[in-house]
Amino acid sequence: MMNGGAADPTAVPAPWELLQPVRAIALALEAAGIAPSAVDADGRRLSTGYVVRRAEPSRATHRSGRPEVMARVEWLGPPGSRASREQGDALQLCTQALGRLGWVALEYRDSRRHRWLEVEPAS
Tens digits of residue pLDDT in 34-92: 999 999 999 999 999 999 999 876 555 555 555 566 899 999 999 999 999 999 999 99
28 lies in some domain: yes
63 lies in some domain: no
H-helix or E-strand containing 104? strand 103-109
106 lies in some domain: yes
Gap between the Cα atoms of 121 and 106, Å rounded:
11
The reported pTM is: 0.84
9 lies in some domain: no
Residue type, 35: A
82 lies in some domain: yes
Domain count for the chain, please give it.
1
- Mean pLDDT across the stretch 93-119? 94
4 lies in some domain: no
pLDDT of residue 21: 93
**What percent of the chain lies above the pLDDT cut of 90?**
68
H-helix or E-strand containing 76? strand 71-76
Look at residues 121, 118, 116, 92 and name the one whose alpha carbon lies nearest to residue 105: 118
Residue 91 domain boundaries: 15-56+68-121
The DSSP 8-state label assigned to residue 29 in this structure reads H
1 lies in some domain: no
Query: Nearest 5 degrees, angle CA 67-CA 119-CA 62?
Result: 25
Q: Is pLDDT above 60 for 13? A: yes
Report the chain's terminal Cα–Cα distance, integer Å.
20
